[in-house]
Each structure stands twice: as C-alpha cells, then as structure tokens.
Amino acid sequence: MERVSRRRFLALGGAGAAALATAACTPGSPARVVKAPPKPARTGVTEKGPVTLVLWDQETGQVSRIWNGLIKGFERKYPNVTIHRVERGFSDLKALLKLALAGPHPPDVVEANQGWPDMGEMVKAGLLLPLDNYASAYGWDKRVPPTINADNSWTGGGKRFGTGSLYGFTNAGEIVGVFYNKTMLRKLGLPLPATLADFENSLAVAKRAGEVPIQFGDVDAWPGIHEWAAVQERFVPESYMKDFIFGLDYNRVSFVTPQNLRAATIIQDWTRKGYFTPNPLAIGYGDSVAHFVKGQGLYMITGNWIVASLGADNPDFGFIAMPPLAPGGPLVSTGGPGFPLSIASSSRHPDVAAAFIDWMTNDAAAQALVRSGEIALNKGFTPTGVQPGTVLSDMLATAARLRDADAIVPYEDWSTPSFYNTLTASFQELLGGKVTPGQFLSKCEADYSAFQKSRPTGSPQTSPAG
Amino acid sequence: MENVAVQLPLTEIASPKRARKRSWKRAERLPGEPRKIAYLYLAAPFLIYAAFTIVPLVQSFDISFYKWDGITPGTWVGLANYKSFFADPVIRGSYLHTLVLIVFYCFIPTAIGLLLAALLSRMRIHGLTVFRTLLFLPTIITDVVLAVTWTWIYDPHGPLNTFLGGIGLGFLRRPWLGDFHFALPAVGVFGAWEEYGFCMIVFIAGVMKIPASLYEAARVDGANAWHEFLAVTLPGLRYELTVVVVLTMIDALSTFDEVYVMTGGGPGTATTVPAFEVYNQAFLQGEVGSAAAIGITLMLIVFAVSYGITKVLEPRAE
C-alpha cells in the first residue's frame, strides 16, 4: 500500500476545498414576500380552538415579573390561549433572533431591537408582519406620539427607516435627561437651571466647591451617545435630528454643521475644565451610577432606567430635561420606545398575537409598568399612586410633557449600521483630546455619507415621518 | 529434530496449507505495516473534523466574497471585502495592535518561562511544587474571571494606582485602560501574566528530559550557570520552544475575550483586535461577508506565522 505523502495529501485537500468552494453558492435565502394581514373584523381573540403563542423577550428583573402577571391576565381572559414565554438575554436575543425567525420553528411574538442591523434586516428579509391594519383596529397609531411609532417603521424591503409600515409596537418609553442631587444643589445655593447657560454656570460652581459636576463613566462607550446628544440637541432643531437619524432627506443633511461644531467644542471645553468625573474613559457605567447614588456628582446625564437604582420613591434626587439654549426654548430629549413587540411573518395566529400586543400596551399595562420606574407613553394616561416629590414623579412629569410635544428624538446611533461604533469611538477620542471637534465631526460624517451612498437608489423622500 | 522444530519461529511452523487458508485474514505483511482498515478508524474523526471545521472554513471563504447580511441572498463583490478593510483604518489598526500584543503574549512570556524553568530546575528547595503550582495558577483560571479582576486592578482608584502612589511614584498613576497610549500595553501585561505559566510548565518538562550528564560535562568544562543555559538547556529545549512560541503566537493573534471584557476595543479604537472586529462586523453590524474576510485573513496569517516559526526553530531531523 502506497503511503500518501504529506505534500500530496495537502495537494489533494487543497483541490477538494477548491472544488467545494467553486461548487458553493450564494449564501442566504431569498427574502420572503410578506402580505399585510387584513384588518380584523373584531378586536380581541376570536379564535375558538386552543392557541399557543411563543414569545421571545429580553425583559429582566421587576419588568419581567410584571410581564408574567400581565401574561397570566391575558390567559385568564382568553382561556384557549397559552403564552409560552422564552426569556433571553439582550445580547443573546440580538445574535439569535434573525436566525430563529428564519428557522423552522420561529417564535410568534418577539421583542425586536430598532435600527438598521436589527429590525431593518428583519423587515428586508420578510421576517416580520406589517402591523398597520392592527394599529388602526386597536388605535395604536394614536396611542403613542408619532415619532415613537416612526422609530418602529420601515418601508417594504427595509429600504427606508422612520416611514412606511409599522413593524413593532410598544408603549414603553425611554427618556434621557439630567438627574440632579437635590441636597447638593441646595448646599451649593443653586437654583434649578432654566437655560444651558445656567447649567454651565452651575457646573462651574460645583467644580469650585470641589464636587464632581457631572458624574460620567464611558468605558462602556454607549453612555457617550447620550452625553453628546444632550448638548447637541440644544443647538440643532429637532427636525434636523429626525432627518439625520432616519436618513429620509439624506442628500441634504450632514454631520458637519456649525451647530454640531459648537456642541463638540463645548464637550471638549467641559472636559478641559473638569466638569466630568476625572478619567471618564476608565470608569464603567455601573460604577458611575453607583457613585451618583452615593452622592458623588451634582448631575448625571442618563436615561430613566437608573430610576430603579436610585429608588423610585427617593426624594433626594430630581430629574429634568436638559435645559434649552434660551429661556422658554423648546423641550427636546433623546429617547424612544423600549423594545417593541413584533409579529413573525410565519406566525399562524397573527390576530391572536395582535390582541396580545394590545393587552401588553394598554393603559392597565401602563399602570402596572410605571411602578417599576418604567415610562409608559400612552397618550392621555396619568398614572396613579405615584408619590409627589420623588425622582419617579419628576421623571413621569417630564416624560408626559415630552410625549405631548412629540419631542422624543431617536437615538443617534440608529443613523447607520456602524454609527454606534463610529460615534462612540470618536466621542471617546473627543473626550480624550485625541481629536479636535472638527475631526470628530468629519469622522462621523464619513461613516454617515458612506452608508447613505451605499443605500439602494431611489429619490430620497422628503415627507415627514409618520 | 523435534527439539529443533520447537525452536523455530511460529510462522515457520505453520504448514503452507494453513497459511493459505488464513491468508484472507492475515495479509502477507508484517505487524505495523499500513492496513486499509486504518482508513475506517480515521474516517470517524475526519467526518467530525470535516463537518465542524473544514466545511465551515470553506463556507467562510465563500462568504468572504459576498456582501451578506446573514439572511437574505448575498451580493458577489469579489475581493471588495478584503480591499475595503485594508483601506479601513480601524481594521488596519486592529492588525497593528496585534503586533504589539505578540510582544506581550509571546516574546515576554516565553522569556519569563525560560527564566523560571532554568531557576526552578536548578534549585533544590522545599516546597518547589507549591511554587510551581502558584506560578502556573494564572494559566488555569478562566480568562474572563481574570480579565474582570485586572480591570479592577487597573481602575483609576484601583490597587495599581494606590500602590504607585504609596511608593512615591504617584506621577505614574493614570487611568490605565482609559488611556489612549497605555490601554493596549495594559491589556498586554495582563496577557503576559496569563501566558507565562504555560510556557514555564512546558519548559520545566523539557528540562527534565535533558540528561544530567550533559550538565555534568559542562560543569567539568568550567561552565557557569549562564554558559550552561546557553550550551545545554536552550538547545535541549528547541522542540518545546517551537511549541510554546507557536501556541502563544496564535493566542496573541486570536485575542478576543480580554479586549471584550476589559476595554470593548476602547478608548476610541485604541485596543481593537481582528477577532473582536469579526464579532463586531458579524453580530453587531450584520456585515457577515466582511467578518468572514477578516477571519480568513487572520487564519492565513496564523498559518504563515506558525509555518515560519516551525521552519526556523524546529530541529531538523538528522
């Protein structure tokens, strides 16, 4: 028997691999053609037989427990329906959801993340149902502010963001603003700032008194997005933010603008003057929250999700939207819907799924969620049982004002699939003095224009989101 | 005559008839000669290897020529994925960072490992095993646990800065992982600490097999410890050296968890590495083609580097 020499074996293997490679074909499977389900004649569950809906979500902690209660209530109301809930971690869900929806045993109702790489890709592949008919049947289109639904809207094929059909719905909201330490503010003899100038002045006063003016840790990179937007939104009109992020008018928007330059210059100026925690690039977000709770820092610019850490009924902390440039200026804040509930295009019970989504987002569900420090954006809804003078009551009052003004601006990292990386990394470089404010803008603009140029051709739509 | 026959080897005793009868079972070859049945034994591991390594590898190679989101049909883009990441400063930077990490993951631990092996094998002290175990400990604890611990060590208010302040070197204190210049070396130092134990253990095992007579001869010739190391220990460890350098080099090239846990690639993009970019492109940005291209390039580099090291270091068969 002849021995196969190592060289010859490698040659054989190489030829085999090459043969396989040439035989291999285009990866991926064609996008599914999705038809919008018709408007249901009656709302609620009309199916009589037993129905099991598989739900995939990433809720944890108190919200997760509230969900279990809501789900039980739904099953009690419709005894023929069983909700099989599968709890996944956030990153698990992000990595698995697309594959699961495209696979042989897809879930029926899922929490899909917003933005190009997530919901955009799922819409493009035809994995989610357009919910417009359900929205009009159940009144979802009027339940929350238009921008909130725009954040979950895409045109067919996932070509445009912020317009077209609704592919997910939630009443849960997120709002970024300024948390403040009431005791410290009093001790420093400062009033609550009404303008950006007041705010800057209070930073200087706090710094002189040896306090940390803004508690900030940016190792995790995403907190930088909120810090940046909080300043940027003082200078640019709200419409610019929506145009830029949704990219509906992408021929005419740019990141390189005098307003953005001013905002970036202010950020670097604040860093130089020591208005942020020393070495924010070496401090984790969790640590920064812990420090703020312990009383380090006059302000912290972040979202409503830390209310639970502060204690919803804590009277020592307050919350405001970042004050406007001029007194009485428009109130604008970064935020958006929480994870929306979407229906898989392959679900055999879309009507039941829609009834379930409605149940999870009605005013009763809103009332249940509010106690956990969550924000419900249901229009005309006023939560009961909230103690006045607490951080939660401040938060809900601000959220209600922003909701009624439809002034919740989407997260800026939704602008392109890679904008999260570009914005967070460039912002860290801006903080660390590695780049000038001008270079910061051009780095972000390079990412933005590269993506917009790569998008499928077609005249950009200039009509407002809705 | 009878006695003589008994002393004959077994094969000679068997009658020609019996031999022919059995020939279907025992081919006319000596034990140890290749037999066809061996391919059957090899088939099982080969199939597993093919299913989980070769097929995915060929698929990745194929995917790297497409712009693909992971679900819908990809678009053939030829070499564009490869070209674009040579043009992309972030991905190019990630390869440059790897060069720095090679120093920390490969060169430094190998040197420390050699030094410790030379010391520990020369010393006759009580509790030697305890020392060896303690020195080897970092290698056997899960990377992620250690990375979390070191993140704390490097914290601006962590033990390292406290220590530096305590011994009058306060001017050296810095936010290690948040510093654009020091974050990458800081990750590297952690890597070196993680790797040296493995190097040491392999070298100690190697030193043990070097005949004591060689050391005696060297000593008779008047060699000191340094000469002994150069003339006896080092040449005796060439095989081990090859193994250690190749494996630590691969670790350096495929760094992921340390960066993921300690810095997330930051500050800015100061600590991104190719494996981290693969994850980032495939799972966070939905650019599976680009991720495959980075992965394939990384694999080719690993192949080339391992081949080069083996050629240079491995003793040639006499």
Strands A408-409 and A333-337, by their bridges, are parallel
Per-residue pLDDT at A24: 54
Regarding pTM above 0.90, the answer is no
By CA distance, what is A121's nearest residue in B?
A: B69
Q: Considering CB atoms only, which of B62, B72, B267 is closest to A124?
A: B72
Max Cα-Cα span within chain A: 95
Alpha helices (H) in A58-211, listed in sequence order: 61-77, 90-102, 121-124, 132-138, 140-143, 146-150, 182-187, 196-208
* Closest Cα in chain A, distance from residue B258 (Å): 14
**Chain A residues interacting with chain B (CB cutoff of 8 angstroms):** 1, 3, 17, 20-21, 24, 26-31, 94-95, 98-99, 102, 116-117, 121-122, 124-125, 127, 219-221, 278-283, 417-418, 420-421, 424-426, 428-429, 431-432, 434
pLDDT digits 0-9 by tens, B201-249: 999 999 988 888 888 898 898 888 888 888 888 889 989 999 999 999 9
Distance CA(A89)–CA(A102), nearest Å, equals 19
Query: Is B62 close to A21, i.e. CB distance below 8 A?
Result: yes
ipTM for the predicted complex comes to 0.80
Provide, as residue numbers in chain B, all residues whose Cβ is less than 8 Å from the Cβ of A217: none
* Domain A51-173+338-389 architecture: 3-Layer(aba) Sandwich (3.40)
| Closest CA of chain B from A207, distance in Å | 20
CA–CA min distance B30, chain A (Å): 13
Chain A residue at shortest CA distance from B155 = A282
A174-336+409-454 in CATH: which number?
Answer: 3.40.190.10
Domains A51-173+338-389 and A174-336+409-454 share a fold: yes
- The answer, yes or no, to whether residue B72 has pLDDT greater than 60, is yes
**Structure tokens that stand for B153 in this block:** 């060590």
Of the two residues B128 and A464, the one the predictor is more confident about is B128
Per-residue pLDDT, A16: 54
Instruction: Return averaged pLDDT per consecutive 10 residues of chain A, 466 residues in all.
Output: 50 53 68 84 87 94 92 96 91 84 92 90 93 95 94 90 95 95 96 96 97 95 95 94 86 90 97 95 93 97 92 92 93 93 95 97 93 87 90 94 94 92 95 96 94 68 40
CA distances from B232 to B56, B110, B199, B220, B255 (A): 45, 18, 18, 13, 34
Q: Which residues of B touch A121 (CB under 8 A)?
A: 69-72, 286
CA angle A216, A435, A272 (to 5 degrees): 45
Nearest CB to A28 within list B73, B90, B266? B73
Comparing CB atoms, the residue among B62, B71, B268 nearest residue A425 is B268
> Could you tell me the residue ranges of all domains in chain A?
51-173+338-389, 174-336+409-454
Number of H helices, E strands in chain B: 19, 2
Residue B136 reports pLDDT greater than 50: yes
Instruction: Please tell me the distance from the alpha carbon of residue A413 to that of residue A250, in angstroms, as a whole number.
Output: 15
Contact A24 B62 (CB under 8 A): yes
The answer to whether the CB atoms of A282 and B154 lie below 8 A apart is yes
Decide which of 2.40.50.70, 1.25.40.10, 1.10.3720.10, 3.30.450.20 is the CATH code for B89-313: 1.10.3720.10
Distance CA A226, CA A114 (A): 17
Cα separation of A32 and A406, whole Å? 34
How far apart are the CA of A195 and the nearest CA of chain B, in angstroms? 31
Q: Where are chain B's structural domains?
A: 89-313
Note the maximum CA span of chain B.
Answer: 97
Angle formed at CA B299 by CA B297 and CA B300, multiple of 5 degrees: 65
The predicted pLDDT at position A458 comes to 47
Which residues in chain A are closer than 8 Å to B58, comparing Cβ atoms?
A: 17, 20-21, 24
Nearest residue of chain B to residue A425 (CA atoms): B268
Contact assignment for B34 to A429 by CB distance below 8 Å: no
Q: Which two tokens stand for residue A31?
A: 């996008």
Cα-Cα-Cα-Cα torsion B119, B120, B122, B124, nearest 10 degrees, comes to: 130
**In Å, how far from its chain's centre is CA B257?**
15
Instruction: Give every CB contact of residue A52 below 8 A, 6+ residues apart in sequence.
Output: A81, A82, A83, A84
Span B32-57, average pLDDT: 88
Burial bucket for residue A256 (CB in 10 Å: 0-12, 13-18, 19+) = middle
